[in-house]
Structure 1
C-alpha cells in the first residue's frame, strides 16, 4: 500500500519538494504563504529571507544554475509575485529550473476585493514552462511534481504555482511522491552523424559551447568530443571553464579571427542570438546543436541542427575523429597575442583607475574554484573579457535577458551552495542600486561575500553610445564618487573606497579575509568605454 502524507498545504508541498532534491527556500515574508514557513520551520528546512522579492528568485536561480537542480522561491500574493517576474523571466532565458510558489487571495471570495487579489497566472505564463493555480489541498504534491518535471525537462526553465489562501491553509492528504521521472530526448542519429562529418571533414572548424552544456551536465562529454575531433573551443555563459584555460583546445581571445576564417561553426547549447551575431558567420557552415527542438534557430537555416540530450549527442560526436593541427596552431598565435594585450591592460597603473586593472588584481587573489558573479553593464563586460574561469560552474551573469539586480540574490544562492569557497560579486554602480539593500540579508544570515563595485558615476552602457550617436547624452549620469562601502557598513558589513591602482591589491586581500559581506568601492575612469562590436538587434 502506497505511503500517504498528511498535513496542511505547506506540509504536502515540502514533501513533494524534497523528493526533487530541494533543500532550501528563498522568500520575503508574507501572510498568504505562512503554512510553507510552518512546514519548513517544523522540519528544519532552511529559510533565507530577502529585502525584495526579485532577490529571492535570483537566489533560487543561482541554486538552479550552480547545482543543476530545482531552486525554490516562495512569494506572497500580488506585489510579491509581480516583484519576482523579472527573476522568473531571467530564469526563462537562462533555462534555469526555478519553481516559484505564489500566495493567492482566497478562491471562495474571489472578486470581492480581498487583500492583494490578483490573477498572477496570465502574467507569468509567457515566461514559464508550467503555470497554474492549485484548486484543492490534496492536489498540491501532484501539481508540484508536474511543475518540477516540466522545469527539468529540456529545454529547462522556470515553473509557477499559485496557492490560494484556503488551499494552502487547509489540511489534506496525498500519496507520497515517488522518484522524479524526467524524460530524456533521444537525438536523431543521422543528424548527429552529419554534424560529426562536417566537423571532422572541415579544414577550419570551431566549437562555441554555452550554458546548456553545463545545465545538461555534459561538460566531460564536450571535452571528449572536442579532443576526438580536434576542434578549438570557445565558450559563453555557464559554458565558461568547460575546458581549463591551459587546455590545448581552449580559446578566448582569438574569437574574431576564428569566426572570420572558420569553414564550420558548431554552436552547442546556446542560442544564435545577438551575442553570436545572430548566427551570421559569413561563408561558414553552421551546426547548431540544441537540447530540444524548440531551441532550433528560426531566423537562420543551419546546415544541420541535432536536437536532444546533449550528453548523448556529444558522446556520439566523440566516436568520430579529426585532425586540425595547423588551424589550431594558427589560432594559438592569435590567442597568445590577445593574452599579451590583456596582460598589458591589466597591469596599467592609471589615474583614475581603469576596469582592466581591477581584474588584473582580482586574478591574483581569486582561487581556482571561486564563484564569480557579474551584475552590470560595461564593468561586467570587462569581467567577461579579463576573467577566465578555471573550472566549469563558477561563472554567473544575468544571461541574454540582461536584467540588472541579480547580484545579491546570486551571491546568496552561491554562498548557500558553497559555504567555504570565495564568492565575488562584480557590480557596476548602476547595478548596485537595484539590490544593494540585500547586503543586510547577507549580513543578518551570516553569508559573507566580497562585492567589488566599478564606480564610474555613469550608466556607461548608455552614456557613451548616446554621445556617439547624438553628440550628447541624457539620463545617463549618477552621483560621482558615492560611498557604496558606507551603505554596506551601515547595514552591518564592511568595506572601503579605493582611488589609486596601487591600493587595489591590499583592499581585495582585506575583503577576502574579512569573513563578513565586504564591499570594495573602486572609483574608475568615466571616460573609459568598453569596445563593443556586437549588434543588439
Structure 2
C-alpha cells in the first residue's frame, strides 16, 4: 500500500507523543517522503518547517487539511477516527482510500471505519520496525506534496491580507505581531473561540511540547490553567497564553494562583466584547443572534488587582511595545487588546457543516 500510494497522508495524533518516538517518526517521514500533518499533543513533533510537513491538521484552519478528501492512503499514528477527521468516513476520507492505523489502544483501531492494516502497540516500538523495512526500498518525491504546499500558501496569503495594520486590530494582526517576537522554544497555549482559532491558523509549531490546545478539556477556559502547568513543567521557557474575552471569564481568577506561586506567563486577550464564534454561527445559520453580546470589560484591571501586570491596548502602534513590556515584567501578565469582530475560518467551517447536514468536520 505504501509503495503504490500516489496521495498518501500521515496524521500524527496525541498518542504519537506518548513515547520517545519523535526522532524515529521524523526519520521515517524523511525516508518515505510522505506528507505529514500534526494535531493535538503531537504538534511540533515534526516541525512545521520540515519539508514534508503540511502543518496543523484542522479542516477549518488549514486548506491543506481539506485535501484529505483526495487521499488514497491515510496513515493514522496515534490519531482517533473521530469528528475531526469525519470519523474517517466519506465524504471526508474517500471510500476508496486505504487506511493504516497504529495506536497503543486497540479499542481505538477501526472504531468507526474498518482499516486495512491495524497495529496495536507502543508507537515508539513500532515505528523503528517500519523504518527498517522502508530503508530497503526507493521512495520518490510526490507531486501530491506540492499540491498540499500550494494549498498552504493560499491560506498564508489570506492570513497576511487579514493582518494588515488597522484599528480596531484584526485578530490576525495581533497574532502576526506576536509571531515576530517568538522563538521555536517558546510555549504557546490556546483557548477556544474565534480569536484563538485565528492564532492556531497563523502560528507554527517547530519543537515538541511547545503547542497546547485542549478542546476536550472543556473547550473554553482551559488555557490559563494549562499555561500555569506549562510554566511549572518548563520554568526556563517563555509561555504565551491566548484567550478571547469570553473564555477569560471561566478561569481568569487563576491569575491569583499564578501570582501566589510566582508563575509568570504572557497572556494576550483578543477582546471584541462578543461571544464571537457563537455570534457568527447564529447569524449565518439562523439569521439572528441570542445572548452573544458582551460588555467592553477591563479584564486588564482584574489582573492588576490580583497582583499581575496588565495593559489595555487599543492602537495597533502600541501593541509591540506593550508585548515587550509584558515580557520584561517577569510577572503573570495580560494584554487586553481591542480587536474587530471577524469570523474565523473555523467558524466558517462550522457554518458549512451545519448547513450541509453532512459529516463534514468543523
- 1:495 matched to 2:310? The reply is yes
- Residue in structure 1 matched with residue 123 of structure 2 by the alignment: 310
- 1:525 matched to 2:334? The reply is no
- 1:323 matched to 2:140? The reply is yes
Q: Larger Rg: 1 or 2?
A: 1
How far apart, CA to CA, are the structure 1 residues paired with 2:140 and 2:88?
Answer: 25
Contact persistence 1:449–1:516 (CA under 8 A) = yes
Q: Residue 497 of structure 1 aligns to a residue in which SS?
A: strand
How far apart, CA to CA, are the structure 2 residues paired with 1:462 and 1:344?
Answer: 24
Contact persistence 2:85–2:361 (CA under 8 A) = no
The C-alpha deviation readout for 1:310-360, integer Å capped at 9, x for no partner, is 1122112212143233332333333333333333333x1132211111110
2:157 paired residue among 327, 332, 340: 340
Q: Residues 462 and 430 from structure 1, CA distance in 2 versus in 1: closer, same or farther, beyond 3 angstroms?
A: same
Contact persistence 1:204–1:324 (CA under 8 A) = no
Q: Residues 285 and 402 from structure 1, CA distance in 2 versus in 1: closer, same or farther, beyond 3 angstroms?
A: farther
- Residue in structure 1 matched with residue 11 of structure 2 by the alignment: 208
Contact persistence 1:237–1:399 (CA under 8 A) = no
The C-alpha deviation readout for 1:75-126, integer Å capped at 9, x for no partner, is xxxxxxxxxxxxxxxxxxxxxxxxxxxxxxxxxxxxxxxxxxxxxxxxxxxx
Identify which range, 257-266 or 300-309, moves more after superposition.
Answer: 257-266
- 1:287 matched to 2:104? The reply is no
Q: Residue 367 of structure 1 aligns to a residue in which SS?
A: coil
What is the number of equivalent residue pairs in this alignment?
338
Contact persistence 2:198–2:344 (CA under 8 A) = no
Q: Residue 338 of structure 1 aligns to a residue in which SS?
A: helix
- Residue in structure 2 matched with residue 250 of structure 1 by the alignment: 53
Contact persistence 1:429–1:453 (CA under 8 A) = yes
2:86 paired residue among 260, 277, 280: 277
Q: Residues 501 and 483 from structure 1, CA distance in 2 versus in 1: closer, same or farther, beyond 3 angstroms?
A: same
After the TM superposition, which residues 97-176 of structure 1 pair with which residues of structure 2 at under 5 Å, given as runs? Answer: none
The C-alpha deviation readout for 1:453-490, integer Å capped at 9, x for no partner, is 111111122111112222111122211x2111100000
Give, in angstroms, the shift of residue 296 of structure 1: 1.7
1:485 paired residue among 276, 295, 300: 300
Structure scoring higher RCO (CA < 8 A, sep ≥ 6) equals 2
- 1:391 matched to 2:207? The reply is yes
Q: Residue 393 of structure 1 aligns to a residue in which SS?
A: coil
The C-alpha deviation readout for 1:297-318, integer Å capped at 9, x for no partner, is 4221122221111112211221
2:33 paired residue among 212, 225, 230: 230
Q: Residue 270 of structure 2 aligns to a residue in which SS?
A: strand
* Structure 1 runs (4+) greater than 4 angstroms displaced: 534-537
Q: Residue 41 of structure 2 aligns to a residue in which SS?
A: helix
How far apart, CA to CA, are the structure 2 residues paired with 1:529 and 1:457?
Answer: 16
- What is the TM-score of this pair, normalised by structure 1? 0.60
- 1:220 matched to 2:37? The reply is no
Give, in angstroms, the shift of residue 400 of structure 1: 3.5
1:419 paired residue among 227, 230, 235: 235
Contact persistence 1:448–1:516 (CA under 8 A) = yes
- 1:451 matched to 2:258? The reply is no
Q: Residue 2 of structure 2 aligns to a residue in which SS?
A: helix
How far apart, CA to CA, are the structure 2 residues paired with 1:221 and 1:365?
Answer: 31
- Residue in structure 1 matched with residue 111 of structure 2 by the alignment: 298
2:325 paired residue among 503, 510, 516: 510
- What is the TM-score of this pair, normalised by structure 2? 0.87
How far apart, CA to CA, are the structure 2 residues paired with 1:461 and 1:435?
Answer: 19
The C-alpha deviation readout for 1:347-381, integer Å capped at 9, x for no partner, is x1132211111110111111211111111222221
How far apart, CA to CA, are the structure 2 residues paired with 1:391 and 1:343?
Answer: 24
In the alignment, structure 2 segments of 5+ residues that lack a partner are 56-61, 351-359
How far apart, CA to CA, are the structure 2 residues paired with 1:384 and 1:302?
Answer: 30
Q: Residues 235 and 476 from structure 1, CA distance in 2 versus in 1: closer, same or farther, beyond 3 angstroms?
A: same
- Residue in structure 1 matched with residue 357 of structure 2 by the alignment: none
How far apart, CA to CA, are the structure 2 residues paired with 1:244 and 1:256?
Answer: 16
- Residue in structure 1 matched with residue 354 of structure 2 by the alignment: none
Give, in angstroms, the shift of residue 254 of structure 1: 4.9
Give, in angstroms, the shift of residue 401 of structure 1: 4.9
The C-alpha deviation readout for 1:237-266, integer Å capped at 9, x for no partner, is 121112223211011245246313221111
- 1:359 matched to 2:175? The reply is yes
In the alignment, structure 1 segments of 5+ residues that lack a partner are 1-197
